[in-house]
Structures are given as C-alpha cells and as structure tokens.
Amino acid sequence: MRWQRQPSTMLPQANYLDETRCVPYMLTELSLRADESLYGFGERFTAFAKNGQTVQTWNEDGGTASDFVYKAVPFYLSNKGYGVLVNHTGNVSFEVASEKVGFVGFSVPGEALQYTFFYGPDLLDVLRSYTAMTGRPALPPAWSFGLWLSTSFTTNYDEATTSSFIQGMADRDIPLSVFHFDCFWMREFRWCDFQWDERVFPDTQAMLQRYKDRGLKICVWINPYVAQNTALFEEGRREGYLLERADGKGVWQTDNWQAGMGVVDFTKPAACAWYQQQLKGLLDLGVDCFKTDFGERIPVNVRYHDGSDPVAM
C-alpha cells in the first residue's frame, strides 16, 4: 500500500509535524482490537509486547537498558495473525497503542508512505511471507551453534590468559566450539588496524594453530572505524577510502570511540577491496570468523562516494 502527496492535491494523511522547519511527514493509523498485542520492530530491550510504547527505528548505541536499539526493523507482528512492514530506510516513528490506545500510528518524513500487510493467519506463515520479500539469511555452519567462549571487553589478557581459559573448559569437561578474542587483540588506541598486539601475543600464528589443533574455531572482534593513530588511517585518507565531510574538505573524523577515528566508505568498490584485504590477512593467519561490532554510529553529515543519502544509510 502506497500513499503519495501529488501536486495540487490534499491528503488528510499528510501532516506537517515540524512547523518550525516546514518538514512534511506522512502519518497513518491502523486500528487495534482491545485484546491485540504487537511484537517485533527489530532487536529491542523493552517489554516484549510493545503496546504502550513509542518506537523509533533508528540505530543508536545505547547498551541493553534503554529504548535505543542496534538493529531496528520497521516490521511488527500482531497476535491476530498478521504483520506490517513500513518500506522506509530512515527513521519510522511508531505510536503503539500509546498516543491512542486503539490504534498503532506510524509516520515518516517526506511526502510518500508505503507499507506492506502480511496475513497468516499463522505467525510462521507471516514470517515466511515477510522473509520471502525481504530476503532470508544463509544457514551458518554447524560449528557456529556450539559453545563460544570470549575474553572480556574490559579485561586485559594475553596468551597465557586465553590458554588458561581454554584449558579450564577442558578440565571441567565442557565442550567448546569457538574461542573469541574481543577488542584487546589489537593495541589500545589502534582499533581497527587489524594488527595483533605483539606485546601480549608474540607468535600469533603458532598460538592460533595450537587452539585449532584442539578443535576450536577462532573469532576476532572488528568494526568499520579506523583510529587516526595508525598507518591504516593514513593509507585510507590518502587513497580516499574513508567517509568525507559533507563539504568535501577532508575526512570526517570523531573521537566517539577512538581518537580521530574515520569510517570506511563501503560505497566505494576500492575501499571494499581494501577492507577485504585486511580481513583476508586474518583469515590466512587462522581466524575463522568475525564479530562485526558497531556500525550504528554512522554520521549523517558526510559525503558518500556513490552519493548515497546519509540518513538512509
């Protein structure tokens, strides 16, 4: 279902919610039954049934004790056997039986609103129809469903520490499938330059091989940011692999996570190949998979190589 405001026409659903900026929004409301509950909207840390909540589909770093989300999806399920997907890549604002108890309302900036209604009546059928439209993930390898053991983000560790963790599991007859190295496999203030910290891992390849000889798969933590205090940042800036400022005057930088960090511009094919090359080096060393962290701190005041809308990105 798609609504669009045409020239010289008036639609009651076209509401100007921001009078100071004269930004048009499209708003619609769907009725709810008295015993109806809505679920979904992506990964959420609030009450499972979303009735009574205001939900924003905007990815933002906020931990697990707030209404901020890392994986927002403008799709919800109803216990009455249907689902609704709002086809909008930016922020969709939902009022889930909150502003009006008998309705779910949703709005998007602009002059067009498109959403799709999926009917089951079984909720599994709703999900099958939804994923048939939006895509289905590949089945992960069997070993990924085993038990994972990880270092802590806030704890310093070295080869002796990680070896003791793995041996401790074996001593307790606890089967282990994957060992994960979190942030500090790299030097502090150099995330992500993809270089192992040789002060604590002097022979990384030999260490990883010993772990793999025990039947373990290896995972390491990465993110799409490159700290200024790295050779990789200088290479990325020189070759144009990092996001530019909106005015085109240099690389966009921030201190949110690492001092002066830049963000890889994945809309540029050469930047993708460059990033893949860094990952290939780790795979060749013995790493099997990656924890792809962050990505929600993507700025909107930047310029993409292919001209993509920063808000949609």
Q: Are 117 and 82 in contact (CB under 8 A)?
A: yes
Distances (CA, A) of 252 to 244, 264, 278: 5, 10, 21
CA distances in angstroms from 90 to 41, 53, 255, 313, listed in the order given:
14, 19, 25, 8
Whether the Cβ atoms of residue 242 and residue 303 lie closer than 8 Å to each other: no
DSSP assignment of 132-161, as one string? Answer: HHH--PPPPPGGGGS-EEE--TTS---HHH
Task: Quote the tokens at residue 269.
Answer: 């094919």
Distance between CA atoms of residues 237 and 242, nearest Å: 6
- DSSP calls for 191-212: TTS--B-TTT-TTHHHHHHHHH
Report the first-to-last Cα separation within the chain, whole angstroms: 24
Distance CA 221, CA 216 (A): 16
Query: Of these residues, 244, 265, 288, 293, which one is catalytic?
Result: 293
Instruction: Judge contact between 3 and 11, C-beta under 8 A.
Output: yes
Q: What tokens were used for 300?
A: 């909107």
Strand-by-strand arrangement of the 14-18 sheet:
14-18, 23-31, 103-109, 93-96, 53-56
- Residue 60: active-site member: no
How far, in Å, CA of 196 to CA of 184, rounded? Answer: 9
Question: In the annotation, is 293 catalytic?
Answer: yes
| CB-CB neighbours of 296 under 10 Å | 15
For the record, the structure tokens of 108 come out as 């998007």
Query: Which residues belong to the active site?
Result: 293, 296
